[in-house]
Amino acid sequence: MARVLITGSADGLGKFAAERLVKTGHEVILHARNAARGRDARAGVPGARAVVVGDLSTLAEMRQVADQANEQGPLDAVIHNAAVGFKESRQETVDGIEHVFAINTLAPYVLTALIQRPARLIYLSSGLHQSGNPDLSDLNWTRRRWNGMNAYSDTKLHDVLLALAIAHRWREVYSNALEPGWVSTKMGGANAPDDLAKGSETQAWLAVSDDAAAKVSGRYFFHLRERPASPAARDRARQDELLAKCAEMSGVVLQ
């Protein structure tokens, strides 16, 4: 039995992954951005062990989520699922950080740095990471004209960079990224063409499976199979640059 934290698990793919894991006998810690969503998460996955609460758009609440997760005892896996999508307008958080970057990139970085190191880390990306901009000089979108699709794609590239950077630095941890497909969740929309049932399968598999194919690191997956990631994601210098910029923006240094 594994103990797994899933961020953004009040609904969508996070909830579906939680249901999969609970049904197969694992301890699941859900996450929701506020107390009301936390109650929804608990009602939606009644077999879950616990719910941690915090708005991942703010640095203070990122820290609170990490603290709550650590109070649950050692984790076997963390699935970094929480995200906002490509239809967002540009907004700054209370910390002055563009909110798509804050939630999709900076939060996984901060949680990775502050949660007691698990055996496995899983970062949800997207096929759109292939079109993400590898230039990390304007992460806050202060010089570029805002484009929601581009901002989302950039953060999904960041998630792969983060997964691969951790795989290189923490050799004892299985750290991987995946794309769940374009599925009909609230984010994906009703007309999404991919198989919703398969959308949560790979992250649950990477979190707990004893299959040799799942016990790897520094890989990118789609529907249980490895898939080539963007070449930009494998650039070690770019990985280090992203970690350094996240540390500067958050005040949290990944050891």
Burial per residue of 89-111, b for 16 or more beta-carbon CB atoms within 10 angstroms, e otherwise: ebeebebebbbbbbbbbbbbbbb
Residue pair 150/172 in contact (Cβ under 8 Å)? The answer is no
> Which is the catalytic residue, given 15, 109, 156, 174?
156
Would you call 174 a catalytic residue per the annotation? no
Q: Is the dihedral of CA 113, 116, 121, 123 positive or negative?
A: negative
Would you call 220 a catalytic residue per the annotation? no
Q: What DSSP assignment string belongs to 122-146?
A: EEE--GGGGG-----TTTT-SSSPP
> Which is the catalytic residue, given 15, 109, 123, 152?
152
DSSP element (H, E) containing 244: helix 236-250
- Tell me the C-alpha to C-alpha distance, in Å, between residue 240 and each of 164, 216, 244: 10, 21, 6
Residues belonging to the active site: 152, 156
